[in-house]
């Protein structure tokens, strides 16, 4: 090779690939040794990680700062409840329905939201989520404004639960937790893989080009509108899946909780900001920090949330690239390199 070649991987990324494979293997077999509360904690971490990765893709890569992702959590959750309660669909299958419902709804919302830019987009998505919350509250069959629970029969007869119950020799409620844990692990891993893959496609690279230098990108004719639209739809689908899964685990729903801007958007934003926006690693770091803060401080209620708000402000002002950004600045390490590096081979002597 005379002129050099484009390289994406780095030594640390190959190392990270090994670590990740090891982690996934351990995680798969974890239920054989781990207790129920650990699995529940991990379920929380994995499902939050799914939400944060999608929001990060929207805002950190696509520049689409949405304050309305709770719309898709809520729609996913309600689609799941609706199909279980009204359609007698198996809850595991209904998670897929949750994703599709969110995707379907994201088409008309995109039509509205994509007419807006910047701050207008942020407020617009929030209002759309509010409209959905208020609309769903009118849906009496799933409990209207007060909400409802998943029927016991549906969760008892859920696919795989019997098998897991026999395999692990546990009660069905514990078996349900194991199933939910595995589903969240699967969803989390595929989410990161899909986003990683997307960012390395031509459409994904257009986002980088526009994000890093909008003028130059325009001057060479890169149009990122389609990329942004794809990102929006993917994020809606993924967020809807997560919403369905989270509410399968909760087994109880109400419009206020399923469309909560605090739980499904504010926390998500803090996690991404604290970890480092615009990187795949940032949300992972952020979710771990968030979980730690929550375990340590959540007994303090409002003090905890106040601290979270102040930390968010401080990070944005003084370390806008987040904890992961600080780390890479020091070490130059990237685990999921998405940027191309031009490698020019040294002259042979």
Q: Which residues bind another protein (CB under 8 A)?
A: 59, 65, 67, 112, 115-120, 122-124, 126-128, 130-131, 134-135, 137-138, 145, 261-262, 266, 269-270, 273, 277, 301-303, 305-306, 308-313, 316-317, 320
CA count, 13 A, side-chain hemisphere, 150? 29
Q: Considering just the CA atoms, what is the radius of gyration of the chain in Å?
A: 21
Smallest separation (angstroms) from another protein to the CB of 178? 34
Please, what is the minimum distance in Å from the beta carbon of residue 344 to another protein?
A: 21
Q: How far is the CB of 44 from another protein (least distance, A)?
A: 19
CB of 280 to another protein, least distance (A): 18
Nearer to another protein, 155 or 265 (CB): 265
Q: Tell me how far apart the 2 most distant CA atoms of the chain are, in Å.
A: 79
The length of the chain in residues reads 349
Cβ closer to another protein: 197 or 303? Answer: 303
Nearer to another protein, 289 or 333 (CB): 289
Report the residue number, 145 or 151, with the smaller CB distance to another protein.
145
In the complex, minimum distance from the CB of residue 293 to another protein, in angstroms, rounded to a whole number: 13
Least distance in angstroms from the C-beta of 321 to another protein: 12
Q: State the nearest-atom distance from the C-beta of 159 to another protein, in Å.
A: 37
How far, in Å, CA of 27 to CA of 147, rounded?
34
**Pick 9 or 108: Cβ nearer another protein:** 108
Shortest spacing between CB 168 and another protein, in angstroms: 40
Q: Are 129 and 74 in contact (CB under 8 A)?
A: yes
Nearest to 271 by CA among 263, 257, 282: 282
Q: Which is nearer to another protein, 244 or 278 (CB)?
A: 278
CB of 32 or CB of 111, closer to another protein? 111
Structure tokens of 346?
């040294």
User: Nearer Cβ to another protein, position 92 or 287?
Assistant: 287
């Amino acid at each position: 090779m005379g002129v050099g070649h484009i390289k994406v991987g780095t030594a640390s990324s190959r190392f990270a690939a090994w670590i990740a494979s090891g982690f996934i293997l351990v995680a798969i077999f974890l239920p054989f040794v781990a207790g129920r509360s650990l699995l529940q904690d991990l379920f929380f971490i994995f499902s939050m990680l799914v939400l944060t990765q999608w929001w990060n893709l929207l805002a950190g890569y696509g520049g689409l700062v949405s304050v309305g992702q709770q719309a898709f959590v809520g729609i996913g959750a309600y689609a799941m409840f609706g199909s279980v309660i009204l359609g007698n669909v198996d809850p595991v299958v209904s998670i897929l329905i949750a994703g599709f419902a969110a995707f379907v709804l994201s088409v008309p919302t995109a039509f509205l939201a994509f007419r807006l830019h910047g701050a207008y987009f942020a407020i617009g998505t929030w209002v759309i989520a509010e409209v959905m919350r208020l609309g769903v509250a009118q849906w009496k069959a799933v409990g209207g404004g007060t909400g409802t629970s998943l029927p016991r029969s549906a969760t008892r007869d859920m696919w795989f639960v019997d098998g897991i119950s026999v395999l692990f020799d546990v009660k069905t409620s514990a078996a349900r937790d194991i199933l939910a844990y595995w589903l969240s692990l699967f969803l989390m891993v595929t989410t990161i893989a899909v986003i990683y893959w997307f960012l390395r496609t031509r459409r994904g690279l257009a986002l980088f080009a526009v994000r890093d230098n909008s003028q130059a990108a325009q001057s060479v004719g890169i149009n990122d509108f389609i990329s942004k639209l794809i990102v929006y739809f993917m994020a809606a689908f993924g967020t809807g899946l997560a919403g369905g899964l989270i509410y399968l685990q909760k087994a109880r729903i109400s419009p206020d909780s399923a469309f909560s801007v605090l739980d499904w958007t504010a926390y998500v934003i803090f996690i991404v900001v604290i970890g480092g926006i615009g990187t795949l690693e940032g949300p992972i770091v952020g979710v771990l920090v968030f979980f730690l803060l929550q375990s340590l401080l959540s007994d303090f209620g409002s003090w905890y949330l106040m601290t979270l708000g102040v930390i968010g402000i401080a990070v944005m002002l003084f370390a806008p690239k987040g904890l992961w950004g600080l780390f890479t600045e020091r070490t130059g390490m990237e685990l999921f390199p998405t940027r191309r590096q031009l490698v020019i081979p040294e002259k042979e002597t």
